[in-house]
Amino acid sequence: MADPTSVIGAIGGQRTMRGIPHRVSCRALGVSESWFYKHRSRRPTGREVRRQQLAEAVKEVFTQSGGTYGSPKIWITLMRQGWRVSVNTIAKLMAELGLVARRSADAGG
């Protein structure tokens, strides 16, 4: 399952923006209504907060690189900033965020 916060946001957003009942959105996303109602009012866990902060840091480094940095360079940059995270976690997070590095114009190939 994706990040619970994003699932809850998607379900709530469908109701707000398109008038789709929570029941229908829950069924489409494969979660129970009881799960949705239980989790929508709870505070995010420390892990979820850290994951969101990491996602923001990854997006920032990716944007600053002009979209040319892949997971290894982003990982190195974040390690220098004090993050303790694996390169595989960065790669997975980039895939979830749809961030794909492109070759810079001056790169050969």
Residue-wise pLDDT for 15-58, tens only, equals 888 888 989 988 988 888 888 888 888 787 888 889 999 999 99
Instruction: Check whether 2 has a pLDDT greater than 70.
Output: no
What's the pLDDT at 88?
Answer: 97
What's the pLDDT at 107?
Answer: 58
Query: Is 86 contained in some domain?
Result: yes
Query: Is 109 contained in some domain?
Result: no
Q: How many domains does the chain have?
A: 2
Range of the domain at 18: 4-40
What's the pLDDT at 108?
Answer: 56
User: Do residues 52 and 31 both lie within one domain?
Assistant: no
CB atoms within 10 A of CB 17: 8
Higher pLDDT, 6 or 51: 51
- The Cα 32–Cα 22 span in angstroms is 10
> What residues have CB less than 8 Å from 37, skipping those under 6 apart?
22
Per DSSP, helices labelled H in the chain are: 4-18, 22-29, 33-40, 46-64, 71-80, 87-97
Whole-number CA gyration radius for the chain: 17
User: Do residues 31 and 61 both lie within one domain?
Assistant: no
